[in-house]
Chain A
Amino acid sequence: MAVKRREFCKLAGVSALALAGGSASAPGAAAEANETDKLIGEPIVGNRWAMVVDLQACRKEEGCRDCIVACHSTHNVPAIDEPKEEVKWIWKEHFAEAFPNQQHEYLAHDLQHEEVLVFCNHCDSPPCTRVCPTQATWKRDDGIVMMDWHRCIGCRYCVAACPYGSRSFNWRDPRPYIDEINADFPTRSRGVVEKCTFCDERLAQGRMPACVEACKDKCLVFGDLEDPGSEVRRLLEKRHAVRRKPGLGTQPEVYYLV
Chain B
Amino acid sequence: MNDKGRIVLGLLAFLVLITFPVWYNLVSGQDSRPPEVELPTDETRCVADREFMRTEHMQLLMDWRDAVVRDKQRIYTTEDGRQFPMSLAGTMHTHDGGSCMSCHANKDKFCDRCHDYLSVTPYCWDCHVEPKGEQ
Contact = CB atoms under 8 A, between A and B. Distances in A.
B69 A40 contact: no
B91 A38 contact: yes
A186 B128 contact: yes
Interface string B92-135: 11111100000000000000000000000001001111011000
A32 to B, nearest CB: 12
Given A29-B93, A204-B72, A204-B74, A150 B65 contact: yes
A14 B95 CA distance: 10
A99 interface: no
Interface of A: 6, 10, 14, 26-29, 38-40, 43, 76, 140, 146, 148-150, 181-189, 200, 204-205
Given A28-B97, A146-B69, A148-B70, A38 B92 contact: yes
Contact of B92 (A10, A150, A181, A205): A205
A129 B132 CA distance: 36
Contacts of B89: 183
Given A204-B72, A204-B74, A183 B91 contact: yes
Binding site of B, secondary structure by majority: helix, strand, loop or mixed?
loop
Contacts of A140: 72
29 contacts: A6-B81, A26-B95, A28-B95, A28-B96, A28-B97, A39-B93, A40-B74, A40-B85, A40-B93, A43-B74, A76-B129, A146-B70, A149-B127, A150-B65, A150-B69, A181-B129, A183-B89, A183-B91, A183-B129, A184-B90, A184-B91, A184-B92, A186-B128, A186-B129, A187-B129, A189-B123, A189-B127, A204-B72, A205-B92
